[in-house]
Structures are given as structure tokens and as C-alpha cells.
Structure 1
């Protein structure tokens, strides 16, 4: 049995909404940590926090389905190249980015599905993604040319950060929405602030992996929550963390808008 193109497209739209919910939670945890000393959470930690909520199992199941649909969309974009972007090196990099995004959302979908089936294992707002980053880095460092592989990961994440920054600067992502010219200007502003916040977080994570490669120590690697914690530790860190959290939350809101207005068409190869 194969999933239809139309159903996959609907799941991809649900995926934007699921991503929006996750980023809203990440942003909330960051602002709460800045203002009230709460716990910082990454994407997986934010998903885990849903397990203890009323109807948490149902919400997690919906989030898992949506993130799976989003992952399928990204991976089919990379494999089938429906936008015909594989014309030059820039297009090749974009397709690689689609693969990375697809795999990342598959992991998040698996996390949500596992918690829906076993809600007692919820993270309670902790950040298992940071531990996973260090575990994978340790494994990479144990293989031949491991330091170069970790350095390659750092370069890839830095490239992603630059792409996010470019979107924030140019605001051309708004063209991916239906009737983009008729949408209020604040929609683009929210997206730009959201992409800017992601660029900051990705750049810090890239720095973690660069240091891990340079020192050949997996403990130097880290993920989103570690990046947010680093911001908090800087002079004026309370406000840096709060501002970044607000930006990530706005990215979540923009993701909800994408769920409604994004041009999405999934074509399953076969």
C-alpha cells in the first residue's frame, strides 16, 4: 500500500503546523528560562513536554503524523527534484539541505510517536537532543578521519545558519506563500525574525561542533538547548535568551501560516 500524493500533501501541511507547535514550545521554554529561571528545552524536549498534558497522547500522535508528512515532503523534494533546482552547485546544496531537514524531522516524528505509545518516557522539558549530539560526535570521532567528519558536520550546520540568515535578510521566503502580495507586512516580519533567531542558534551549534573537531572531544558538541544556554551565560544573557526565544516562537507562528498558505505539492516517486 502506498500513500497518495494528495494525502502526503495534506500531511506535509499538517507538518508545518506540528513544526509551529514545537517551535512555539521551544520559544516559550526559552522565555520562561530567561524571565523566571525555568528549564531550557530543545525540539525533542519540547515534544516530550506534551506527554504530561491532557490529551497529550492524541496531540503527540497528530504531531508525529505531521512531522512524518513534512519529512516525506522534504525527502521527495530532494529525490524527485520537482522544483528543478538541480541545475548548479547552489541547487545541489539546497537538495542536500532538504535531505538533512527530512532526516531531522523523521527523528522528531519518531520521538513524538514513541512518546505517544509510551507517554511515561516523556522528557519533562529536558533536552535529549544535546545528549544525542554528543553521542553521535563520539561515534564519529572513533572512526578513521573522525575529526574531519565532525568538522564537515560543523560546516554543514554553518551553511544552514547562513541560509537562515539570508532568508531573514532578504525576506524572499514569502514568495513561497499563495497570494504573498496580499498578506499583511507583519507576516514577513515575523518570518524574518524567526529565521534570524534560527540563524543565531544554528551558528552557535556549528561552533560547538567545530570546537569538538578541533579538540577531538565529543563533550564539546551540543544542540539547540546548549546554544540557548550559552546565550543565557553571556553578559545581558537574560535579554539575549528572551529575544531569541521570542524569535523562535515567531518562527512557530509563521509555520502555522505556512500550513495554510504554503505552496506544497508532494509527488511520491513510483
Structure 2
């Protein structure tokens, strides 16, 4: 018993030591990742606002955001910087999966699994952005709606594909609800160094965190419902990417005003990501 306890303690100390040694690298990577995420959400929200008010020539999704960046002065440099930042986010999440995250529950299996899944997600997003920056315009800027329908069609053709898509859609919808509830409950506060944030700025961060997180959760939940509907009806065309999901909000009784509210929320989530880059515990 004593031998097993000593071994466990030694392993924990080795992991903690490795995490501390990689600390400056992973911390910088994480902060760059939050900044890059903030830029993407800020742009998507602004594109959605343009559409809500009858303008806009780009889709309100990652592809539209990247195309917008590419047209700016030094656009190519900005695209590579965004891709590098998202690589940093994937690296930081991977370090959490391997060595544990900050906080008392940072080394639990649930937390590690969540970090690993996020590392894969951000790795994929980083790859698409870097591919776009390298000239493969179809990979990063393609329609999220078209990709969603294509993937759904392929999966539905597989044995058990209808069940898989149904479960995936339900999982995304539930994740959206969880994201929104956690934002409204201000669960993000436990990750922030609140003592370093001036009181007035803290109120602004809370506004951005609550409204932005709720809007992000609503988009995820709606996209999940559309995917679930596509599986139930065996109709790939029912699946929607971010752009079509946002546009669908104009079909509600609130009309374009719901899209305006969600778009403002996404802009605020972008600003909240910048705050996380500055004050989050990593």
C-alpha cells in the first residue's frame, strides 16, 4: 500500500513538474488562442448584423470571416496569425488533457476528456484556417452550410448512420443548452483572476460573458436541432451550418430582431474572448 501511494505521489509530482516546465509556452499559446477565437466570433457577429439589416455580401460563418480578413491590409499575415493562434489553443487544450488543467478538478478524467475533445476541435479549425492562408481557399472559406449537408448525407448513407446523426445532433443541442446555462450562471468566473480586473471593467466582462455565452449557446442548440431533424426525417438538406442557422432566426415571430440580438451576442462573445485572453487562469 505504501509503495502504491509513493508511486502515485511520484507520478503526480512528475506531471505537475512537467506542466510547470511547459507553463510559459502553453500559457502563451492559450492566450493567443483566445485572441484568435475572439477575432473570429467578432467578425461572424458583424457579418450577421450586416445581413440582419439587409446588407452583407458574405456568409456569417468562419469562411466569411476568413474572406473578410484576407481583404484587409496585410491580410495574409493576419490569416497566418489567426491560424497560429488557433494552433496555440489546440496545444493548450492538449496540455490540459495530458498534464491536467488549473483548478481543483483539473486532473479528473472528465476534465481531461473534455480538454482532449476541444484540442481535436481547435486543431481541425486551425488546420482549415492555415490551409486557407496557404492558398487552399476551398478548405477554410467554403460554405459551412454546404459542408454540413455533405457530411450529413455521407453519414446517413452508412449503416446506423441515421442513429449516429441523431445522437450527434442531440449532443450538440444539449451542449448548446449547457453553454448558455453556464454563461448565465457566470460559471466562467472561477477561471478568471477577478482581483486583477477593475470593478467597472468586471461589469463589462460579465455583460459580455453572459450575453455572449447565451447567444453562442443558442446558435449551437439550434444547429443541433437542425441536425437531429435531418436524421429523423432522413433529409440531409435539413442540416444547417452556422450561416443558415443564423439566418433561420429571421423566420421566427421576432423576425430579424432575434438575429440582431444573437449577432450582437456573438460580437460580445468575441470581446469576452479577449478578456479571457487577458485575465483567465491558465
Compute the TM-score of the two structures, normalised by the length of structure 2.
0.82
Residue 222 (str. 1) matches residue 222 (str. 2): no
Please tell me whether residue 48 in structure 1 is matched to residue 33 in structure 2. Answer: no
The 5 Å alignment of 1:172-191 reads 172-180=187-195, 182-183=197-198, 184-191=202-209
| d(CA) in 2 for partners of 1:185, 1:142 | 50
2:26 corresponds to = 8
User: Which region of structure 1 is more displaced relative to structure 2, 212-221 or 62-71?
Assistant: 212-221
- Deviation, 1:148, is 1.0
Q: How many residues align?
A: 256
Asked if the contact 1:134/1:222 (under 8 Å) is kept, the reply is yes
Q: 1:77 to 1:44 in 2, by over 3 A?
A: farther
TM-score (norm. length: structure 1): 0.86
Q: CA deviation at 1:49?
A: 2.2
CA distance in 1, matches of 2:88, 2:132: 18
TM-align CA RMSD: 2.4
Q: Residue 230 of structure 1: SS of its match in structure 2?
A: helix
Q: For 1:41, what is the secondary structure of its paired residue?
A: coil
Asked whether the 8 Å contact 1:48–1:112 carries over to 2, the reply is no
Match of 2:9 in 1: none
Task: Structure 2 unaligned segments of length 5 or more: list them.
Answer: 1-20
Aligned to 2:8: none
Answer 1 or 2: higher relative contact order, Cα 8 Å, separation at least 6.
1
User: 1:117 is matched with which residue: 102, 125, 134?
Assistant: 134
Q: Flag structure 1 segments of 5+ consecutive residues without an equivalent.
A: 265-270
C-alpha separation in 1, matches of 2:249 and 2:211: 17
Offset of 1:159 from its aligned partner?
A: 2.3
